[in-house]
Amino acid sequence: MTVDTSTWQTFEFGDIAQNLTKAIKDPLSEGFERFVGLENIEPKNIHIKSWGNISDGTTFTRVFRKGQVLFGKRRAYLRKAALAEFDGICSGDILVFEANEENVIPELLPFIVQSDKFFDYAIKTSAGSLSPRTKFKDLAKLKFKLPLLDEQKQLADLLWSVDDLIEEKKSLNEMILDMFKIIENHCFAEDSKYMKNLKVVDLKKFVDQFIVPMRDKPKIFDGDIPWCRIEDFDGMFLLDSRSGKYVSNQVIREMNLKVYPKGTVLVTCSADLGRCAITAAELVTYPKS
């Protein structure tokens, strides 16, 4: 994909956004319900996923409104910036940006602040040893090239469409992880009917079904099919062999190993019991067929 930037204009950040510093002493009486601290902004996440209730008490006073951008000026290397999707108050270590709509559309501003260029400059201009902070007067000097407003709308629509896909994937991942937790808690809890009905002799027989290739056997790991170990179960998807071990078809035949196709749900049954993952590629693991 190529983008023609010959018609784009150069702006300083201070020309496309203003830093708002309005503060109120009694936010509850003004109708505000939620507050946001630095801990509520996740690194590299454009959405605010958590917040505090003002009724529970807070010392924050800085006001922000829906559609504005919150940027963590303290420890900018944590890369915390997000779009405000509700009205509230926030920490003094958060800068509140509002788009100057003469030069930039509000929908594009969150992505500008989320860009590597912006964060890198914020880190570079931060001062302080233990808790470095950047200032708006320094950030205001950072230059960006931007298209005309109509083109900005097209660009923003594209970026938000990608963000929608990312959020949908995150939601799906969370649902799958919840499913795994249900499996773990139901099947492997001490009071589970599966554990109660399992006899020691059955467990011995079950464990005997497992086999590990002898590492001193010639050409044991010279194939192209990923070999999965329990240590590889550190995420939802088993993409490949993180150990760099690959089993040959000859070894699979000789040792009667099982090849699992993409999309198989695997549950560990020894060592770290009950860990789950989905195979994102064809691979081989311990159990016989």
Q: What's the pLDDT score for residue 170?
A: 78
**Secondary structure E strands in 117-208:** 143-146
Q: What's the pLDDT score for residue 185?
A: 63
Residue pair 161/113 in contact (Cβ under 8 Å)? The answer is no
Q: What's the pLDDT score for residue 200?
A: 45
Provide the sign of the torsion angle of the four alpha carbons 217, 219, 225, 230, taken in this order: positive
175: exposed, middle or buried (Cβ count in 10 Å: 0-12, 13-18, 19+): exposed
Residue pair 11/143 in contact (Cβ under 8 Å)? The answer is yes
Q: What's the pLDDT score for residue 209?
A: 45
- In the chain, the N- to C-terminal Cα span, in Å, equals 47
Q: What's the pLDDT score for residue 145?
A: 92
Per-residue pLDDT tens listing for the chain (289 residues): 566 778 899 999 999 999 999 999 999 999 999 999 999 999 989 999 999 999 999 999 999 999 999 999 999 999 999 999 999 999 999 999 999 999 999 999 999 999 999 999 999 999 988 899 999 999 999 999 999 998 999 889 989 998 888 888 777 777 777 666 666 565 555 555 545 554 444 444 444 444 455 555 556 667 777 777 766 665 555 545 555 677 777 777 777 677 777 767 676 665 555 566 667 667 666 543 3
Residue pair 125/119 in contact (Cβ under 8 Å)? The answer is no
The model's pTM: 0.62
Among 101, 37, 112, 126, CA closest to 69: 112
Q: What's the pLDDT score for residue 105?
A: 96
Cα(103)–Cα(158) distance, rounded to whole angstroms? 19
